């Protein structure tokens, strides 16, 4: 009792400092999905025994332990939620594809007859980035829906309820057939760290949330339902707590690259299907081109957060190139070269008083998004909220691209040469990473081979030191 009396006689500010020192964990707190609680980095329950000494100290400590500790959320593959997460991903992907197909008639004369001056002015006001496209369609009636690379708004970063998910699946076209369902059951479908953070924030009181200061979203593995959009769901919590800062950490090798290359034909599906296709040299490698452009969806989604209401200074994005930062820097060099080419094209057109149409400007492989060169420059000079933990030092690539374009009088000839340079070769991973195929195979559940049968018409293929067999129904899969 005497010890309590001496401690409680200290000024409140000093007691709060002692509480903070007592509560600090070297590696902060980590969210454990199974228990729904925060734990230490090694999974132990958080020791707050001091709070239970007396009622007054319990009241004073409150949620003060959250202030000095970084709270980390990571991608989660829960066996109880894995297949549901996979179904949710397929539903969101199908929905996005369906919305994309709805734009295919765009550009036909009968469709454009509905675009009145009032419609055109509303588009220019609410979606100014597409005003030039609409004007071009009215003049030429030529349309390539693949020119619009942005997604259809923020995909929901939620843990879906079974009944709601079933209703969504019923409403979507082209349900998955049995062969595809068999394949999807082998994947480690994960929910994003951003989803886990939203789930936790909603489960605690506002007074507890207001005590939080630093949160790390450890997106170390690829996750479902367009995770690059999921930070949008965190905006209300940052608005509620201006002292909260979120750092979203993206592992380049086990998240960013596998996600991008899946859509470009170099992902896990290709590795599994190798026995069904002709093997070529480099099948187990990754192209520089696909690797370089993998940064774009994450950067563009991060850039719109401010306009969507994210408070200034509340969010940062980190590209994690470990455990091979040198190779990560090499890939980023190719990305910077794309920015240099886009800048060179703009400079050439300005110098020759030439304006490229909306579609012509975007059909070049190096074009990523408006303002791309300026965004990359800010990242390189470290004046952006987007950072890398590997070298982004400037090189001669920008000057080289500008020098090349100065030699061309005909912009069509220059653009044609740039398209030919799209194939930039392939590269292999470096230790301690496994080879590219082995890296992707980490996304399959243990025992996935049991879901696959031997191909009676040919021997299995060895990839990453193991036999890759084919699905019985592989001929019916539609990828």
% of the chain beyond a pLDDT of 90:
34
pLDDT of residue 348: 78
pLDDT of residue 275: 45
- pLDDT surpassing 90 at residue 103: no
**From residue 367, how far is each of 35, 131, 336, 419 by CA, in Å?**
45, 19, 11, 11
**404-425 average pLDDT score:** 52
114-129 pLDDT, tens digit each:
778 888 888 888 888 7
- pLDDT surpassing 50 at residue 476: no
- pLDDT surpassing 80 at residue 264: no
**456-478 average pLDDT score:** 38
What is the pTM for the complete model shown?
0.84
**202-218 average pLDDT score:** 95
- pLDDT surpassing 80 at residue 395: no
| Residue 153 vs residue 49, higher pLDDT | 49
pLDDT of residue 76: 95
Of the listed ranges 37-46, 130-139, 213-222, 382-391, the one predicted with least confidence: 130-139
**269-294 average pLDDT score:** 62
**From residue 18, how far is each of 7, 11, 49, 56, 182 by CA, in Å?**
10, 11, 14, 15, 56
Hey, what are 188's tokens? 């480690």
pLDDT band at 177 (very low <50, low <70, confident <90, very high): low
429-455 pLDDT, tens digit each:
999 999 888 888 888 888 776 665 544
- pLDDT surpassing 80 at residue 365: no
17-26, 170-179, 257-266, 391-400 — which one is most confidently predicted on average? Answer: 17-26
pLDDT of residue 461: 42
pLDDT of residue 152: 47
Please check whether residue 172 is in contact with residue 88, taking contact to mean a CB–CB distance below 8 angstroms. Answer: no
pLDDT band at 382 (very low <50, low <70, confident <90, very high): very high
- pLDDT surpassing 50 at residue 352: yes
- pLDDT surpassing 90 at residue 202: yes
Instruction: Give CA–CA dist 414/353, Å, rounded.
Output: 16
Instruction: Give CA–CA dist 399/405, Å, rounded.
Output: 10
Say if residue 298 is exposed, middle or buried (CB neighbours under 10 Å; 0-12, 13-18, 19+).
buried
Residues 6+ apart with CB under 8 A from 200: 31, 36, 73
Please check whether residue 310 is in contact with residue 233, taking contact to mean a CB–CB distance below 8 angstroms. Answer: no
- pLDDT surpassing 60 at residue 243: yes
pLDDT of residue 475: 33
Phi first, then psi: give them for residue 283, nearest 5 degrees.
-60, -25
58-100 pLDDT, tens digit each:
888 877 888 889 999 999 998 888 989 988 988 888 888 787 7
**105-121 average pLDDT score:** 76
pLDDT of residue 462: 39
pLDDT of residue 469: 39
- pLDDT surpassing 50 at residue 244: yes
| Residue 418 vs residue 221, higher pLDDT | 221
Q: What is the dihedral of CA 44, 50, 51, 53, to 10 degrees?
A: 130
- pLDDT surpassing 80 at residue 239: yes
Of the listed ranges 132-136, 151-155, 216-220, the one predicted with least confidence: 151-155
Q: Average model confidence (pLDDT) for the chain?
A: 79
pLDDT of residue 323: 96
Please check whether residue 319 is in contact with residue 387, taking contact to mean a CB–CB distance below 8 angstroms. Answer: yes
Classify 270 as helix, strand or coil. helix
Classify 38 as helix, strand or coil. strand
């Amino acid at each position: 009792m005497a010890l309590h009396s001496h401690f409680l006689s200290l000024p409140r500010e000093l007691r709060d400092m002692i509480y903070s020192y007592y509560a600090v964990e070297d590696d902060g707190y980590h969210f454990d999905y199974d228990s729904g609680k925060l734990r230490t980095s090694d999974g132990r329950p958080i020791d707050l025994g001091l709070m239970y000494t007396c009622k007054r100290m319990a009241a004073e400590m409150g949620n003060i332990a959250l202030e000095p500790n970084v709270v980390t959320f990571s991608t989660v593959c829960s066996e109880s939620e894995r297949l549901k997460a996979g179904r949710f991903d397929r539903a969101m992907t199908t929905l996005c594809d369906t919305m994309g197909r709805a734009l295919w008639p765009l550009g036909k004369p009968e469709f454009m007859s509905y675009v009145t001056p009032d419609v055109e002015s509303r588009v220019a006001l609410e979606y100014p980035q597409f005003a030039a496209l609409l004007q071009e369609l009215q003049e030429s009636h030529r349309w390539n829906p693949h020119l619009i690379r942005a997604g259809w708004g923020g995909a929901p970063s939620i843990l879906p309820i079974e009944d709601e998910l079933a209703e969504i699946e019923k409403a979507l076209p082209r349900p998955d057939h049995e062969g595809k369902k068999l394949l999807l059951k082998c994947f480690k479908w994960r929910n994003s760290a951003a989803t886990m953070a939203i789930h936790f924030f909603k489960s605690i009181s506002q007074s507890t949330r207001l005590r939080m200061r630093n949160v790390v979203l450890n997106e170390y593995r690829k996750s479902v339902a367009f995770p690059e959009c999921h930070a949008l769901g965190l905006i209300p919590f940052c608005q509620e707590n201006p002292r909260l800062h979120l750092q979203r950490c993206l592992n380049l090798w086990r998240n960013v690259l596998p996600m991008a290359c899946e859509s470009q034909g170099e992902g896990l599906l290709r590795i599994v299907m190798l026995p069904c296709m002709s093997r070529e040299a480099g099948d187990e490698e990754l192209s520089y081109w696909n690797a370089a452009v993998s940064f774009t969806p994450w950067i563009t989604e991060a850039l719109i957060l401010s306009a969507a209401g994210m408070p200034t200074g509340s969010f940062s994005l980190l590209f994690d190139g470990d455990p091979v930062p040198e190779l990560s820097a090499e890939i980023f060099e190719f990305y910077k070269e794309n920015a240099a080419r886009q800048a060179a094209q703009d400079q050439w057109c300005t110098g020759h008083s030439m304006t490229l149409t909306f579609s012509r400007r975007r059909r070049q492989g190096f074009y990523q998004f408006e303002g791309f060169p300026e965004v990359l420059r800010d990242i390189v000079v470290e004046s952006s909220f987007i950072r890398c933990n590997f070298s982004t030092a400037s090189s001669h690539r920008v000057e080289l691209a500008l020098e090349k374009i100065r030699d061309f009088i005909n912009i069509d000839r220059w653009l044609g040469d740039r398209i030919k340079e799209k194939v930039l070769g392939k590269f292999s991973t470096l230790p301690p990473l496994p080879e590219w195929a082995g890296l992707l195979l980490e996304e399959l559940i243990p025992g996935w081979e049991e879901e696959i049968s031997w191909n009676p018409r040919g021997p299995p293929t060895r990839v990453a030191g193991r036999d890759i067999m084919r699905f019985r129904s592989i001929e019916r899969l539609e990828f």
